């Protein structure tokens, strides 16, 4: 009779969290690989190395930032391995595309290109 008077054991919340994390870590690799839409675009037009350069330029804190008020898009310009590279982003900062400016030797040429396409240098 004494056993009936004892409260039931409760599962520890920490144990539940650990179990949930284990289940998630097992199921996560089974999810389909979802890539950003820009990756397929850049890879198909310009190759895998430009996908990597696009990502690198987007994350570069020293990249020059431009704004196009007509398209409501940003442009980032950076130097990667001695070559100017342009990344175009939407107003929310998501990458649309990226491409090298292979024939441009100096920053003045890149600024002129960006101006010709409607962008103004922000910083």
The answer as to whether 67 is a domain residue is yes
Domain enclosing residue 97, as ranges: 37-121
- 6-30 tens-digit pLDDT: 666 676 788 888 888 888 777 766 6
CB 33 within 8 A of CB 74: no
The answer as to whether 101 is a domain residue is yes
Tokens of 53: 């350069």
- pLDDT surpasses 60 at 122: yes
How many separate domains does the chain show?
1
Helical (H) or strand (E) element with 121: strand 120-121
Segments of 36-118 assigned E as strands: 64-68, 73-80, 83-89, 95-101
The answer as to whether 23 is a domain residue is no
The answer as to whether 25 is a domain residue is no
The residue among 50, 37, 86 whose CA lies nearest residue 66 is 86
Tokens of 18: 């650990």
The answer as to whether 102 is a domain residue is yes
Q: What is the pTM of this model?
A: 0.63
The answer as to whether 51 is a domain residue is yes
């Amino acid at each position: 009779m004494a056993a009936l008077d004892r409260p039931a054991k409760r599962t520890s919340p920490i144990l539940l969290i650990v179990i949930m994390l284990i289940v998630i870590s097992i199921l996560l690799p089974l999810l389909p690989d979802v890539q950003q839409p820009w990756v397929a675009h850049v890879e198909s037009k310009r190759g895998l190395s430009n996908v990597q350069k696009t990502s690198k330029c987007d994350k570069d804190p020293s990249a020059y930032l431009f704004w196009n008020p007509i398209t409501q898009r940003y442009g980032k310009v950076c130097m990667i391995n001695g070559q100017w590279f342009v990344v175009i982003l939407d107003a929310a900062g998501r990458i649309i595309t990226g491409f090298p400016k292979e024939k441009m030797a100096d920053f003045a040429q890149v600024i002129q290109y960006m101006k010709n396409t409607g962008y103004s240098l922000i910083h």
